[in-house]
Amino acid sequence: MSWTRTLLAALAVCVLLLSGAVGCDSGAAREQEDGVSSSPVGEVLDDTDDEGRHYREAGEGDAPEVGIEVQPDPAGGWDVRLTLRGFRLTPAGTKARAVAGHGLAYLFLDDRLVARLRTPEYRLAQGLVPRGTHQVTVRLYADDGTVWAVDGDPVESTAALTASEAETTATSAPGSNPSRTALSAPGARSRTGGQGSPDRAGKAS
């Protein structure tokens, strides 16, 4: 009868394994439905950005910082440069999961998303910036789409830029020098959990 007991034990193990697999599949389905990974990195908060992406609280030792500098390009448009501390931009094709200190940066012009950045430099086309003063904001996201946050606030940086009427046209007259101003350090504001700017000498967070 020993072979009977062995067979019954083997069948019980199979049932347990199958039940575990079903449980895992159900959990994965819930994660996919919520659109937020169950990564143990940071706590996913109830707060969201304007598009409904949840904030993810960075650990005290993993709090990233970002700074932004916006300067006019002599050839037209605006050069945007990011300063990162405790954060690495990941390449395209990176697995969609949250990893401490990694992810990408979203660039907003007056709260309108204009680019998802995986490099610290970007050229803001002149045609995207109408006449007047505007806010350029960079915000850090994890690769699963959650927003990195510190003390409940998104890790982001904002700089102001002002475009004159001459800059609203596609071309400038020969020899002209349209007035363009960009505020990086003095005119910028940052929210990185009260930790300030990565580089306050000409950059903001």
DSSP state of 73: -
- At residue 71, the 3 state secondary structure works out as strand
A 10 A CB-CB count for 153 gives: 16
Residue 174 has pLDDT above 70, yes or no: no
Quote the tokens at residue 89: 């931009």
- At residue 5, the 3 state secondary structure works out as helix
Same domain, 13 and 102: no
Give the DSSP per-residue string, 37-57. Answer: ---SSSEEEEEE-TT-PEEEE
Give the model confidence (pLDDT) of 38-77 as tens digits: 456 889 999 999 999 999 999 777 799 999 999 999 988 9
Local confidence band at 24 (pLDDT 50, 70, 90 cut-offs):
very low
The DSSP bridge partners found for residue 101 are none
CA 51 and chain centroid, separation: 13
Average pLDDT, the chain: 73
The DSSP bridge partners found for residue 50 are none
Residue 59, domain member (yes or no): yes
Residue 202, domain member (yes or no): no
Residue 3 has pLDDT above 70, yes or no: no
Residue 142, domain member (yes or no): yes
Residue 107, domain member (yes or no): yes
* pLDDT confidence of residue 199: 34
* Side-chain half-sphere exposure of 24, counting CA atoms within 13 A: 6
> How are beta strands 156-163 and 43-48 bridged, if at all?
unpaired
Report how many domains make up the chain: 2
Local confidence band at 178 (pLDDT 50, 70, 90 cut-offs):
very low
Residue 138 has pLDDT above 50, yes or no: yes
Where in the sequence is the domain holding 22, given as residue range(s)?
1-34
Residue 196, domain member (yes or no): no
Residue 56, domain member (yes or no): yes
* pLDDT confidence of residue 39: 56
Same domain, 27 and 95: no
- Residue among 172, 162, 118 nearest 140 (CA): 118
- At residue 174, the 3 state secondary structure works out as coil
Give the model confidence (pLDDT) of 68-102 as tens digits: 999 999 988 999 999 999 999 999 999 999 999 99
What length does the chain have?
205
* Single pTM value for the model: 0.67
Answer for the pair 20, 28: CB distance below 8 angstroms, yes or no. no
Answer for the pair 152, 66: CB distance below 8 angstroms, yes or no. no
Same domain, 72 and 158: yes
* pLDDT confidence of residue 165: 61
Same domain, 174 and 97: yes
